Chain A
């Protein structure tokens, strides 16, 4: 008698796999880990990090070449002054990092096949956004941290470790972290609206750097404090170290004519940055949640 096989041969049986419900918090960690693994292998991360290292190293090299005495004179014999000046470009690095890591963080789901991989998983979109936002913040802080490291090394070299205001330096780094959160909030928002990843990166730089800086200059000419500008708020990162900080400066232009310049106080900077996070992050989440994969 010919045996009748009811179970035809084939590949290994798909067995029941034990699964447990994963909380949003756990999934946030999973997405952060996934996104961080991606960012840390991208050319843009190493490119930006290399650029920061190059510029910082060159600045330091020129100062070393000028000599300790010359730098001390120039910085009014104060390490805080030195750090405040050295770290004045922090805002630019953060804006670049925010554009590189946030400018296409969400649009990638709607312009490439990445969305068909991630958006079909049982993960809420706000959780996906939170994980990517966290990963983008961490890599941005890694870049900024390297810049601060160069600043600290310079400060120690020219003024000695005991004279470094470590508390203020830490406060400045804290402000930089908040600035990064705010800039990334804007970048994520751009990314939730713009479909093209490249355009998202470019528009983020244009909005955060060119747009705000230009607008700031224009309103200052009109005698208005640019309290709405994130780049204005970013001045607080250096201001916290500046012992001669002046909030408002009137520069005489001619007879009875002045050009007023404002510098954000630390509390003002904190409030503006926090407001940006509070507005743009939920807005990004809302737009991302509403976005459809029409491509």
Chain B
């Protein structure tokens, strides 16, 4: 089983302007860790430091216990990394681009072919003979993702893995990541809270280069009092009918004809009462807050104007 660790890690590109300050965390075994924070928080910088694309100003990063600054080849041996937007040479075709990765990771030519076929099946890759330069952004992203899986490394570092993918492709990738996390260790940075909620077991919130919070997603649900629920009714509900929730709902927002987002004070007793009122409006198919926990935690932890900073 793999591991990744950063220890007292700091990085400054200019004196007095640290991008990361004294970052420490360690994970090992299998599972998925979500790495969240606004733009400029230092997520990608952390991933770059982990794979040795950047040198730490102070501290160390370790992949499977090996510092990539000391022994890059050994540190990256069992690691697949998708950082920023990887671009294989546009002149090469899909198979050639993946072949180089597979052979560099020690696969025999036969195993390279088998791995390419596996990735083709997992990610619905474009035709293997097609040149990279002719692919769409989404297709290129899938090829890049396939390159991280070649040779089945135990640690996967994924920076916005579904960036550039259409909704159907995102579902495929999310499903894949959910499968992979059972016997791989994933570190995944993302702005997609739903994606992180669906995939990750643990989260790290980063803001201005510092860790604000590290916790398990299920524990976070207990720590953050969810003030919103998504309700799905069996039949379309008119806005007038939602007036029945007025005594306890602070705001109702239609998400579709049958789905509504309801804001309330967050107390468990209120939530029970809210469910009863909703059942009065019509048959309820879903009454859930889980997909919103991370988003609410994010908004609670990160100053609201952080994205503008």
Chain B residues, CB < 8 A from A292: 53-55
Please name all residues of chain B whose beta carbon is closer than 8 Å to the beta carbon of A11 when the two chains form the complex.
121-122, 172, 175-176, 179
The 4 closest A-B pairs by CB, nearest first: A113-B87, A19-B106, A41-B91, A116-B86
Q: How far is the CA of A21 from the CA of B97 in the complex (A)?
A: 20
Binds B, one of A118-126, A163-171, A174-182: A118-126
Are A294 and B100 within 8 A (Cβ)?
A: no
Interface string of B84-104 (1 = CB under 8 A from A): 111111011000110011011
Q: Does B293 contact A (CB under 8 A)?
A: no
Complex CA gap A114/B88 in Å reads: 6
**B-facing residues in A122-136 (Cβ within 8 Å):** 122-125
A15 near B: Cβ within 8 Å? yes
Q: Would A34 and B100 count as touching, CB distance under 8 A?
A: yes
Residue of A with least CB distance to B180: A14
Report which of A14, A41, A114, A122 forms a contact with B149, defined as CB distance below 8 A. A14
B53, chain A: closest CB distance, angstroms:
4
The answer to whether A22 and B72 touch across the interface, beta carbons within 8 angstroms, is no
* Chain B proximity mask over A120-157: 1 for CB below 8 Å, otherwise 0: 11111100000000000000000000000000000000
A60 to B53, CA, bound (A): 51
* Contact partner, A120, options B51, B111, B152, Cβ 8 Å: B51
**Cβ of B74 under 8 Å from chain A:** yes
Residues of A1-33 whose CB lies within 8 A of B = 8, 10-22, 24, 27, 30-31, 33
- Closest B-chain residue to A7, C-beta based? B182
CB contact under 8 A between A12 and B106, given known A17-B152, A294-B13: no
Contact residue among B84, B92, B103, B114 (Cβ-Cβ distance under 8 Å from A30):
B103
Tell me which of B51, B54, B73, B108 has the highest count of chain A C-beta atoms within 10 A of its own C-beta.
Answer: B73
Which residues of A are found within 8 Å of B96, using beta-carbon distances?
A: 34, 37
Range for the number of chain A residues in contact with chain B: 35 or more
Q: For B82, B115, B176, B179, which residue has the most chain A Cβ atoms within 10 angstroms?
A: B179
Q: Are A120 and B91 in contact (CB under 8 A)?
A: no
Asked if A14 contacts B183 (CB within 8 A), the reply is: yes
Residues A17 and B89 in contact in the complex (CB < 8 Å), given A10-B178, A12-B121, A120-B81: no
B105 contacts partner chain A, Cβ-Cβ < 8 Å = yes
CB distance from B219 to the nearest CB of A (A): 23
Interface string of B204-237 (1 = CB under 8 A from A): 0000000000000000000000000000000000
- Asked if A294 and B54 sit within 8 Å, CB to CB, the answer is yes
Give Cα distance in the complex from A27 to B104, angstroms: 6
Asked whether B101 lies within 8 Å of A116 as measured between CB atoms, the reply is no
| Across-interface contacts of B54 in A (CB, < 8 A) | 292-294
Whole-angstrom CA separation of A112 from B66 in the bound complex: 28
B101-125 interface bits toward A, Cβ cutoff 8 Å, 1 = contact, 0 = none = 1011111100100110010011000
- What's the tally of chain B residues with a CB closer than 8 Å to chain A? 54
Closest B residue by C-beta to A108: B89
Interchain CB contact under 8 A, A38 and B111: no
Give the distance in Å from the alpha carbon of A16 to the alpha carbon of B135 in the complex.
Answer: 30
Q: Does B259 touch A at the CB level, under 8 Å?
A: no
Given known contacts A22-B106, A121-B101, A294-B13, A38 and B91 CB-to-CB distance under 8 angstroms: yes
- Chain A positions within 8 Å of B144 at CB level: 116-117
- A contact residues around B77 at 8 Å (CB): 21, 122
- Could you tell me the distance between the alpha carbons of A293 and B81 in the complex, rounded to whole angstroms? 14
Cβ of B104 and Cβ of A122 under 8 Å apart? yes
A14 and B149 alpha carbons, distance in the complex (Å)? 9
Q: Are the C-beta atoms of B107 and A17 separated by less than 8 Å?
A: yes
Would you call B115 and A122 a contact (CB within 8 A)? no
Whether A10 contacts B105 by the Cβ 8 Å rule is no
How far apart are B209's CB and chain A's nearest CB, in angstroms? Answer: 15
24 A-B pairs, CB-CB below 8 angstroms? A11-B122, A11-B179, A14-B122, A15-B118, A17-B151, A20-B106, A21-B77, A31-B104, A34-B96, A34-B100, A37-B91, A37-B92, A38-B91, A41-B91, A116-B86, A117-B86, A117-B88, A120-B86, A121-B104, A121-B105, A122-B72, A122-B76, A292-B54, A294-B54
CA distance A4 to B209 in the complex (A): 44
Q: Contact check: which of A10, A34, A37, A121 meets B176 at CB < 8 Å?
A: A10
The answer to whether B84 and A22 touch across the interface, beta carbons within 8 angstroms, is: no
